Amino acid sequence: MDPIDAYIRVPRPSAVMVWTPEQTRLFLEEAGRHPLFALYRLITLRGLRRGEACGLRWKDIDLDTGAASISWQLVQLAGRIHEGKPKTDASMRTIALDAETVTILRGHQRRQREQQLAAGEMWKGTGFVFTQSDGDRLHPQHVSDQFLWLAYLAGLPPIRLHDLWHGAASLMLAAGVEIKVVQETLGHTSSAFTADTYTSVFPQVAMAAAEKTAALLLGEDEGHGTLRHLRA
């Protein structure tokens, strides 16, 4: 039996599963040696869907300001690739890019330009950030297949590529990112939907916020003096 077939047949206790931060870190370390590393990092940390990552174009990214506009996607229907807008108005969004991701994208861009020089007239100028070696569009299923292989090599519990998108929300919430920011980053229609979807993580975040709020009243004497002054 193919090792990947055996890997993905492992019983899943839940329809949606996400890795822990440590497991996610191990995956990114393994993916760091793969040509699609930047794509997997965007899904993992910035919450792009598979089709949005495959459909990302260089004209939609500003590496100087660290921002990317999500306005295009590649979807797979009956084995064929279709280009189009994201599925909802909320999915049309602009996301912030951290400094390390910008550096990784710049390196990816340099390697793509080297591929273009090597391909010469055979290069297909599609304008997409993530392409095949001749510049042609990526097949979304190839992205999923490579993800499973990398997860297998890293010795991690099997999850779907779409679960990595869910994991991005969990990571942001666990890091204390405001629910509204998580909603807008992932392209959810409402913050209520985001909170309902990630009920296993959101209570921990809400508790941490409550503790931080209460801690404001437990500061040093100087802080109490300031409060008394303001009340006066």
> What is the per-residue pLDDT for 228?
39
> What is the per-residue pLDDT for 100?
96
Low-confidence ranges of the chain (pLDDT < 70): 1, 12-16, 199-210, 212-213, 218-232
> What is the per-residue pLDDT for 153?
95
Residues 100, 63 contacting (CB under 8 angstroms):
no
> What is the per-residue pLDDT for 7?
73
Kindly list the structural domains of the chain, giving each domain's residue range(s) and its CATH number in brackets, ordered by start. 16-200 (1.10.443.10)
Residue 84, Cβ density class (10 Å: 0-12 exposed, 13-18 middle, ≥19 buried):
exposed
> What is the per-residue pLDDT for 63?
97
The string of DSSP letters for 68-107 reads EEE--EEEEETTEEEEE--SSGGGSEEEE--HHHHHHHHH
> What is the per-residue pLDDT for 227?
41
Residues 98, 47 contacting (CB under 8 angstroms):
no
> What is the per-residue pLDDT for 13?
63
Closest CA to 147 of 122, 124, 169, 164: 164
- Kindly give the residue spans of alpha helices, DSSP state H, lying in the chain: 3-8, 21-31, 37-46, 50-54, 99-119, 140-153, 161-174, 179-186, 191-197, 202-215, 221-231
> What is the per-residue pLDDT for 11?
73
* Cα–Cα dist 120/216, whole Å: 62
Total-model pTM: 0.82
Judged by DSSP in three states, 128 sits in: strand
**Residue labelled with tokens 């392209």:** 187
> What is the per-residue pLDDT for 225?
44
> What is the per-residue pLDDT for 125?
94
